[in-house]
Structure 1
Amino acid sequence: MIQIDDAGSGSFVGGTCIGVYRPETNEYFFEIIPVELYNKENFKKKLYLDAVVDIVEEAFKALNVHKSETVEICRGYMFEKLRHWLDANGYCWYRTHISGRIQEIVEQNFMLYTMRLGVPEAYLKYTKYPFHFHKLLRWVFADYNNRISLCKTGWQSWAKYEGIQREVHDDVMKYSHIFCLKCGKHIRKGSRIKILRFVSNKEHFVYLHSKCHEC
């Protein structure tokens, strides 16, 4: 049996991880759809759906998938074109809820990928729903000029907040558990900081080392 799942399609930051898994032998293949396919121009063309087909085709060759093997694919919209490709190439497939080992692997690989993009490990592990759109806006706005290119800017939800006003003021850190969302390092309680404030779904605050904001 072959299982196909995705992770990151709902994350504003980064592309999307596509994973192909054979549970009987614990063989696994994954690839990332480049975030460039989610910019304003490419997103309209849905080129990311073509990328899914390319990745799965490469995975099937690498894993030597036979047409006698049953293929399970996630019910998500990411596999819209893949379903047609599977039909055209004579594979036996069906849509289902994907869970278990394949889901764990794909989600873990996407998390590692976002960490390589610069999202702090502590933010991903200790923030509730770290891939929520408005939570990720905090990380993006902490270093906007360098991070916006890492985002799915073709999304309509981004168009709504693209011109959002951001305010910055000086303060002193009152807490002992906060990390700077620009450098990812701990902010010492009592140290001078910059606080970036913006309002999207609610009021948000981004805490930065003073020197990080000035860089």
Structure 2
Amino acid sequence: MHFFKYIESRNNFINIISKPTNNIDIHNQQEVKILNMIQIDDAGSGSFIGGTCIGFYRPETNEYYFDIIPVELYNTDNFKKKLYLDDVVEIAKKAFKALRVSKSESIEICRGYMFERLKCWLTEEGFCWYVTQITGRIQEVVEKNFELYAVNLGLPNDYIKFTRFPFHFHKLLRWVLSDYENRINLCKVGWKSWQKIKDITPTLSYSQIQQSNFVCLKCGKHIKKGSDVAVLEFFSNKQNFIYLHSGCEN
């Protein structure tokens, strides 16, 4: 659990919305003056690796609260029960307590399935909430925190920084299969996309690398041009090749 509170100039805020617009779904609107707004967003729900980061932000005071839905809630049994949606509610309860959210504040929720049960809870508790597209500072902060979390799990920072769509399922699959026994427990194995290919077994061969821009996806170190390498080959949505230092395949 993480809670940060600090103040910045209002000029630094991005896309602050002070009232609902015509294209959003408003629930439980009351005849009260809206003093503040709480924005709620998620990051990582589409990443095969890790849980999901849920973030809360009050633009007027620049206060943040974020927490991670544990990846264990995405195992086969828990995923079927959608227990991760229940955890969103539990995280929200802690966030609202930490931020001292009042019913005079409007709640802005990101579109998507992650907040389906949270919406029910907000309605039951009498909060005024609406769904809209979340952009700006909260989106940036939540996504960055998920990236830091993923790096802490072991995903190379350079992989995130220099790979286009680094959290794409099939790209993450290459990293997972580079050290399957130690990394599969970091993944959302309840996903249907994984269940379809969970019995995949890469074939092993050996070669010599002729380029200088490869990194061993097991140890994370650079592979020198001309080095002997172990090559793992598998098919998911296309033919994939994983290059490891000779010896890292063991």
- Fold in common (TM above 0.5): yes
Aligned match of 1:2 in 29, 35, 38?
38
Alpha-carbon distance, 1:171 to partner = 0.9
Q: Does 1:123 find its partner at 2:159?
A: yes
Alpha-carbon distance, 1:34 to partner = 0.2
User: How far does the alpha carbon of each residue in 1:170-205 deviate from its partner, in whole angstroms, 9 at most, with x for none?
Assistant: 111111111111111111111111111111100111
Larger of the two Rg values belongs to structure? 2
Aligned 1:7-86 pairs, distance under 5 A: 7-86=43-122
Q: Equivalent residue for 1:110?
A: 146
**Mapped partners of 2:209, 2:108: distance in 1:** 50
**Mapped partners of 1:33, 1:165: distance in 2:** 29
What amino acid is the match of 1:70?
S
Structure 1: 5+ residue stretches without partners: none
Q: Does 1:211 find its partner at 2:211?
A: no
Structure 2: 5+ residue stretches without partners: 1-36
SS at match of 1:161: coil
Q: Equivalent residue for 1:177?
A: 213
Please report the TM-score for the alignment, with normalisation by the length of structure 2.
Answer: 0.85
Alpha-carbon distance, 1:12 to partner = 0.5
Alpha-carbon distance, 1:165 to partner = 3.0
SS at match of 1:5: strand
The count of corresponding residues between Structure 1 and Structure 2 is 214
Alpha-carbon distance, 1:70 to partner = 0.5
Please report the TM-score for the alignment, with normalisation by the length of structure 1.
Answer: 0.98
Aligned 1:186-197 pairs, distance under 5 A: 186-197=222-233
Alpha-carbon distance, 1:18 to partner = 0.2
User: How far does the alpha carbon of each residue in 1:40-71 deviate from its partner, in whole angstroms, 9 at most, with x for none?
Assistant: 01101110001000001100100111110000
**Mapped partners of 1:184, 1:165: distance in 2:** 22
**Mapped partners of 1:174, 1:19: distance in 2:** 44
